[in-house]
Amino acid sequence: MGVIKVARPPKDRSIFHAALGYLTTIAQGMGVTLKIFIKQLTHMEKTETLEWPEQAVTYGDRFKGKHFLTKRPDGQVRCTACFLCATACPAQCIYIQAGQHPENATEKFPVRFEIDILRCVFCGYCEEACPVDAIRLGPEYAMADTDEKKWVYTKDYLVDRSELHGGITSIKLENEKHPSITHEPSAEERVSVVRFGHH
């Protein structure tokens, strides 16, 4: 293997010349900042700064924030522990432990339902994959905390935290799951339904 010789970089003629370039660039940047500051101070230009948390931030209707689990009209968790949300999750942050429901009308229910929110990417696949409208991403965006345990959202927290004001009842009917399919789906369509939740 041969050695390739390259020329040395040219030496700067003057260190003061280089320093002048840095100072000129910094002065130009500070000039732009000062210009915007004076315009906003004299109300010549509208500022986009919000005094949060005193002034609430509003996001669009499609914003995907904190997760929550919906309830049936009788107050029980709507989730049937089908594991579709955990299967669709690309971050694998959902853990479900299923249990047999005491009533025969409901096959299963989640004994444990946990979301490791630090791993979550807020993609909404869990919401799309759920056939019974059990999990949704709501409009809550404030999630800052210092307690390590609070980053794992438990079933109780997802169903009934103070921000939910007693919980959210599902808008779907009890027996409404997937719409009837008029044709036999292909292999690609079956994979699409499980992975991306088109239902």
Answer yes or no: do 105 and 27 share one domain: no
Answer yes or no: do 38 and 121 share one domain: no
Identify the pLDDT of residue 164.
Answer: 83
pTM assigned to the model: 0.63
Average confidence (pLDDT) over 154-171: 85
**146 pLDDT above the threshold of 60:** yes
Answer yes or no: do 71 and 125 share one domain: yes
Answer yes or no: do 124 and 158 share one domain: yes
The tokens of 3 are what? Answer: 């050695």
Answer yes or no: do 99 and 169 share one domain: yes
**Looking at per-residue confidence, does 82 or 147 come out higher?**
82
Answer yes or no: do 22 and 72 share one domain: no
Flag whether 8 is in a domain. no
What confidence tens digit (pLDDT) does each residue in 84-133 have?
999 999 999 999 999 987 777 677 889 999 999 999 999 999 999 999 89
Answer yes or no: do 40 and 80 share one domain: no
Identify the pLDDT of residue 48.
Answer: 80
Average confidence (pLDDT) over 169-175: 68
184 pLDDT band, cuts 50/70/90, is low
What confidence tens digit (pLDDT) does each residue in 45-87 have?
888 888 888 888 888 878 888 999 999 888 889 999 999 999 9
What confidence tens digit (pLDDT) does each residue in 19-28 have?
788 899 999 9
What confidence tens digit (pLDDT) does each residue in 13-50 have?
677 777 788 899 999 999 999 999 999 889 888 888 88
Flag whether 62 is in a domain. no
Identify the pLDDT of residue 189.
Answer: 46
Flag whether 59 is in a domain. no
Average confidence (pLDDT) over 178-198: 44
Flag whether 38 is in a domain. yes
- Domain encompassing residue 81: 67-178+186-196
Flag whether 3 is in a domain. no
Torsion of CA 182, 186, 189, 191, to 10 degrees: 130
Number of separate domains in the chain: 2
Answer yes or no: do 124 and 30 share one domain: no
Answer yes or no: do 97 and 191 share one domain: yes
Identify the pLDDT of residue 175.
Answer: 55
Answer yes or no: do 27 and 104 share one domain: no
Identify the pLDDT of residue 1.
Answer: 63
The tokens of 42 are what? Answer: 């004299």
Flag whether 37 is in a domain. yes
Flag whether 34 is in a domain. yes
Answer yes or no: do 75 and 140 share one domain: yes
Answer yes or no: do 103 and 27 share one domain: no
Look up the CATH number of the domain holding residue 71: 3.30.70.3270
Flag whether 120 is in a domain. yes
The tokens of 16 are what? Answer: 């003061």
**Looking at per-residue confidence, does 28 or 189 come out higher?**
28
Average confidence (pLDDT) over 126-147: 88
Pairing of strands 67-71, 168-169: parallel
